[in-house]
Amino acid sequence: MVENTLLEVENLKVSYGGIQALKGISLSIAAGELVTLIGSNGAGKTTALKALAGLLHPTSGHVHYQQKSLLQFPAHQRVVNGIALVPEGRGIFARLTVEENLLMGAYIRHDKTEIAADLARQYELFPRLAERRAQLAGTLSGGEQQMVAMARALMCRPTLLMLDEPSMGLAPLMVEKVFESIRNIAAQGVTILLVEQNAKLALEAAQRGYVLESGAITLSGAASELLGSDAVQRAYLGT
Amino acid sequence: MRCRRWAARPQPSREKVGSHEKRHTRCRFFFVWIAQVIVDILLQQVINGLVQGSVYALVALGYTMVYGILGLINFAHGEVVMIGAMIALTVLKALLAAAFAPVLAVLLSLLAAMAVCMALGYSIERIAYRPLRNAPRLAPLITAIGVSIVLQNLAMMIWGREYHSFPLPFNSVSHQFGGAIVNDVQIGIVVVALIIMLGLMWLVHRTRMGRAMRAVAENPSAAALMGVDINRVISVTFMLGSALAAIAGFMVSANYGIVHYYMGFMLGLKAFTAAVLGGIGNLRGAMLGGVLLGLIESLGAGYIGDLTGGFLGSNYQDVFAFFVLIAVLIFRPSGLLGEKLSERA
């Protein structure tokens, strides 16, 4: 249905100890797209991203990525294939400095000059981090930590960047900054799968969206259509 | 009521015990005597403490690295030290019998011990701990004790129950040093331990592998998302700790000249104490705790006889280590340099 498909998920099911968190979801993302997955708390958004990143093992289903079956790879090899996840709660290394965090992002790469160039690029994209490069990441504010997490993910030069609730716990001004960065990253040609509770912001930034409800996808379409649809308006935008 | 009555009981007159003057001279005599005793053996005990402490520090690093990454206390670590000593002994004997040059024989036996211990550390993790990675914490802990017993008995079957003398192929010359005596082996132990610890700090803080180790220690799943193969990092950690254990085993054997299948048990417990004292999971803490524990033990053993009027002898030195362990667990469970333990619970 989408041309130039980068990621194709078919009927993915995930269970935790007998409870089915994902009841068979299917979605597809084309190269260069910004797609959002919205839904309320406990709908299974984080589960979906974790399964795609390899932190959880699906009970059934297929994931095709660049014409390869993704599920055969363990988490640490999916990064090599260009899939990066900025996890919920950011998952930064608090006892490493900001710069060490970013270098961890480039762990799979060995081209030292290129890594240094990318480091400089991240500092350009997030000037705040340049000021704090030698500081322990744990001492940063929530918004700055989110920037570290995003810059770190970019350090592996991802083809597909997955973001899990980047706005969570941030002050409104920070949320705006984070979304501005997300648009910048998308403009550079990185494909993005954005999971958000803040449906309005996410749909405004994305081209297409999927709505996840108790482990199943109930709606999908162009972001602008979803934004205008009655169901989304009622359920997530509170109007 | 009873308390008050007890407090108000008639007090015996102090003057009856001895005249004021008599007490004064006795006091002065006591302090002069104490001062003499202290100065006499202080330097010697500090030297002994530093030597023993260097060994504790190397072994404590193995405990603390594994704890930092897995949250597991590898109680088999002391036995790895013992196996290292045994391998060094066997290889050294064989090489000396084959008329190798002494320095070469020492180096080769040390390398052999390190290689065997690294393989052993890798295997222990692979066979005993990895299958229990997601089990409740008690399971790997009990397994660790089991591994320790297995290794001890294995060593007993291979090398027997007797004490082996460690054939150091050169004379360890003793030097007079401000009233204390220090020999070449002791100097070597402290210098080598220092170099190794500096090297380890460099590795952990300045290299890609070290960064990955710290990342895995802090947040394994986030490290996996960075492309770090967690199992590989854990294996490297075990091998690194085991190599340090082998060096420590060689040092102890060279220093005391004796190797025994049971030597790893007490040494392991004390090094564990050192790691807890410094703050388990913290590398600098393990080094600090090791040296401190060596000093506490050595000074304690040196003075316990004098302080108890000969009632307790220096054979009570082990008491100090465990006294320290209990005190740390009661008053500062996170250790001297440790962070809150709840973080990794």
pLDDT in tens, chain B (345 residues): 444 555 555 555 444 445 566 667 777 777 777 676 667 678 899 999 999 999 999 999 999 999 999 999 999 999 999 999 999 999 999 999 999 999 999 999 999 999 999 999 999 999 999 999 989 989 999 999 999 999 999 999 999 999 999 998 888 899 988 788 999 999 999 999 999 999 999 999 999 999 999 999 999 999 999 999 999 999 999 999 999 999 999 999 999 999 999 999 999 999 999 999 999 999 999 999 999 999 999 998 888 877 777 787 777 788 888 999 999 999 999 999 986 544 332
Cα four-point dihedral sign B287, B289, B290, B291: positive
Cα–Cα dist A220/A209, whole Å: 6
Cα–Cα dist A37/A28, whole Å: 11
Task: Determine contact: A116 vs chain B, CB below 8 A.
Answer: no
Q: Which residues of B touch A77 (CB under 8 A)?
A: 227
pLDDT of res. B157: 97
Cα four-point dihedral sign B90, B94, B99, B105: negative
Cα–Cα dist B74/A69, whole Å: 39
Residue A21 CA to its chain's centroid (Å)? 19
Q: Which of B211, B219, B228 lies closest to A76 in CB terms?
A: B228
pLDDT of res. B291: 97
Task: Determine contact: A107 vs chain B, CB below 8 A.
Answer: yes
Q: Which of B208, B219, B225 lies closest to A85 in CB terms?
A: B225
ipTM comes to: 0.92
Q: Computed over its alpha carbons, how large is the radius of gyration of chain A? A: 17
Contact A201, A166 (CB under 8 A): no
Task: Determine contact: B284 vs chain A, CB below 8 A.
Answer: no
Contact A90, A98 (CB under 8 A): no
Beta-bridge mates of residue A62: A10
Q: Is the pLDDT of residue A3 over 70?
A: no
Cβ-proximal residues to A50 (8 Å cutoff; 6+ apart), any chain: A56, A85, A87
In degrees and rounded to multiples of 5, residue A90 shows phi and psi of: 75, -40
Examine residue A68 and state whether it is found in any structural domain, yes or no.
yes
CA B105 to each of CA A101, A235, B81, B118, B122: distance values in angstroms, whole numbers, following the listed order: 44, 77, 19, 20, 26
> CB contacts < 8 Å between A and B, how many?
66
Task: Determine contact: A16 vs chain B, CB below 8 A.
Answer: no
Cα–Cα dist A234/A219, whole Å: 13
What the block records as the tokens of B197 is 């610890």
In angstroms, the separation between the Cα of residue B224 and the nearest Cα of chain A is 5
Cα four-point dihedral sign B290, B292, B293, B299: positive
Cα four-point dihedral sign B329, B330, B334, B340: positive
Q: Tell me how crowded residue A234 is: count the other CB atoms within 10 A of its CB.
A: 10
- Do B221 and A91 make contact, defined as CB atoms within 8 angstroms? yes
In angstroms, the separation between the Cα of residue B226 and the nearest Cα of chain A is 5
pTM of the model: 0.88
Helix B102-124 vs helix B77-97: angle between axes, to the nearest 10 degrees? 150
- Do B211 and A80 make contact, defined as CB atoms within 8 angstroms? no
- Do B222 and A87 make contact, defined as CB atoms within 8 angstroms? yes
pLDDT of res. A17: 81
Task: Determine contact: B134 vs chain A, CB below 8 A.
Answer: no
- Do B219 and A93 make contact, defined as CB atoms within 8 angstroms? yes
Q: Computed over its alpha carbons, how large is the radius of gyration of chain B? A: 24
In angstroms, the separation between the Cα of residue A49 and the nearest Cα of chain B is 12
Q: Choose the mutation target among A104, A115, A150, A154 for the interface with B, i.e. most B CBs under 10 Å.
A: A104
First to last CA, chain B: 47
Examine residue A127 and state whether it is found in any structural domain, yes or no.
no
Contact B114, B284 (CB under 8 A): no
Examine residue A232 and state whether it is found in any structural domain, yes or no.
yes
Task: Determine contact: B222 vs chain A, CB below 8 A.
Answer: yes
Examine residue A47 and state whether it is found in any structural domain, yes or no.
yes
Cα–Cα dist B211/B145, whole Å: 30
Closest CA to B270 of B338, B303, B200, B319: B319
Which H or E run contains A37?
strand A34-38
Closest CA to B75 of B133, B132, B128: B128
Write the pLDDT tens digit of every residue in A171-223. 999 999 999 999 999 999 999 999 998 899 999 999 999 999 999 999 999 99
Cβ-proximal residues to A227 (8 Å cutoff; 6+ apart), any chain: A200, A203, A204, A237
pLDDT of res. B8: 55
Cα–Cα dist A114/B183, whole Å: 52
Work out how many domains chain A is built from and give that number. Answer: 1
Cα–Cα dist B171/B205, whole Å: 38
In degrees and rounded to multiples of 5, residue A16 shows phi and psi of: -110, 115
Q: Which residues of A touch B215 (CB under 8 A)?
A: 93, 96, 104
Structural domain span for residue A70: 1-76+196-239
Cα–Cα dist A213/A39, whole Å: 6
Q: Tell me how crowded residue A228 is: count the other CB atoms within 10 A of its CB.
A: 11
Q: Which residues of B touch A152 (CB under 8 A)?
A: 226
Examine residue A43 and state whether it is found in any structural domain, yes or no.
yes
A46-65 residues touching B, CB cutoff 8 A: 53-55
What the block records as the tokens of B316 is 């009570």
Cα–Cα dist B286/B273, whole Å: 9
In angstroms, the separation between the Cα of residue A190 and the nearest Cα of chain B is 17
First to last CA, chain A: 32
- Do A75 and B208 make contact, defined as CB atoms within 8 angstroms? no
- Do A55 and B218 make contact, defined as CB atoms within 8 angstroms? no
In angstroms, the separation between the Cα of residue B121 and the nearest Cα of chain A is 24
User: Which contacts qualify for B319-325: CB closer than 8 Å, 24 or more apart?
Assistant: B320/B296, B321/B269, B321/B270, B321/B273, B321/B293, B321/B296, B321/B297, B322/B269, B322/B273, B324/B273, B324/B277, B324/B293, B324/B296, B325/B273, B325/B276, B325/B277
Write the pLDDT tens digit of every residue in A102-139. 999 999 999 999 999 999 999 998 999 999 999 999 99
Cα–Cα dist A1/A50, whole Å: 25
In angstroms, the separation between the Cα of residue B206 and the nearest Cα of chain A is 10
Examine residue A81 and state whether it is found in any structural domain, yes or no.
no
Q: Which of B208, B219, B227 lies closest to A76 in CB terms?
A: B227
Closest CA to B222 of A44, A86, A137, A26: A86
pLDDT of res. B344: 37
Beta-bridge mates of residue A127: none
Examine residue A30 and state whether it is found in any structural domain, yes or no.
yes
Examine residue A89 and state whether it is found in any structural domain, yes or no.
no
CATH code, domain carrying A214? 3.40.50.300
In angstroms, the separation between the Cα of residue B340 and the nearest Cα of chain A is 13
